[in-house]
Amino acid sequence: MDGFVRFDMEDHTQTDATLAIWQAAHEAYQRTGVVIQAALRRSSADVERILAAGGRVRLCKGAYDEPRSVAYVNKATVDANYAKLMERLLLSGSYHALATHDPRLIARAIAIAERQGIGRDRFEFQMLYGVRRDLQRMLVARGYAVRVYVPYGHEWYPYFMRRLAERPANVGFMLRAIVKEEGRRIRGR
């Protein structure tokens, strides 16, 4: 078997259980990875534990409205923590995934990789299907790997609706992204 299994991360009440399940799977079958959320205060320590176990991380900002006791609630602080964890992962020597549509963080990842001589085949970007396709194409044209996240299968619709309901801001995001992208497409004609 040569597939790769990534364990998505739910809200902070599920972090320990998800990491434990990932750890067991990783010991039995190396080709696994797990998600770490920059919004959580614990994530730096989790990243160190995963790296020590030889694991692969998908770094995201975190999709949930979490309490201040466990999470950074200020966007600038989440972004700063993402940048810090991203640099740690890029310099770790193993292959990780940077899941973000944030152009500033993407530019920063590229700058770190170029400065440190980290090859384009040593990490990948990940984005949601249909979101910032212009950015996805630009990265691919520059030789970077971009993996696109697609909910599929019989349960794709309830899954999609649940993700929207968890964070109603995503509805606005989605509409703004469509309008922005359409605007760019029309201007580019």
Ligand X SMILES: Cc1cc2nc3c(=O)[nH]c(=O)nc-3n(C[C@H](O)[C@H](O)[C@H](O)COP(=O)(O)OP(=O)(O)OC[C@H]3O[C@@H](n4cnc5c(N)ncnc54)[C@H](O)[C@@H]3O)c2cc1C
Here the tokens at position 8 are 């998505």
Q: Which of residues 133-172 bind ligand X (CB under 6 A)?
A: 149, 170
127 touches ligand X by CB under 6 A: yes
Q: Clarify whether 58 is annotated catalytic.
A: yes
Using the minimum distance from each CB to ligand X, give the nearer residue, 114 or 134. 134
Binding residue for ligand X (CB under 6 A) from 8, 121, 155, 182? 8
128 touches ligand X by CB under 6 A: yes
Q: Using CB under 6 A, which of the segments 16-24, 45-53, 60-68, 114-122 binds ligand X? A: 60-68
**Cβ neighbour number for residue 136 with a 10 Å cutoff:** 21
| Annotated catalytic residue, options 8, 16, 65, 134 | 8
Outline where the chain has alpha helix (H). Answer: 15-28, 43-52, 75-90, 103-116, 133-141, 156-166, 169-188
Among candidate residues 91, 89, 116, the one with its CA nearest the CA of residue 100: 89
Where in the sequence numbering do the catalytic residues fall? Answer: 8, 58
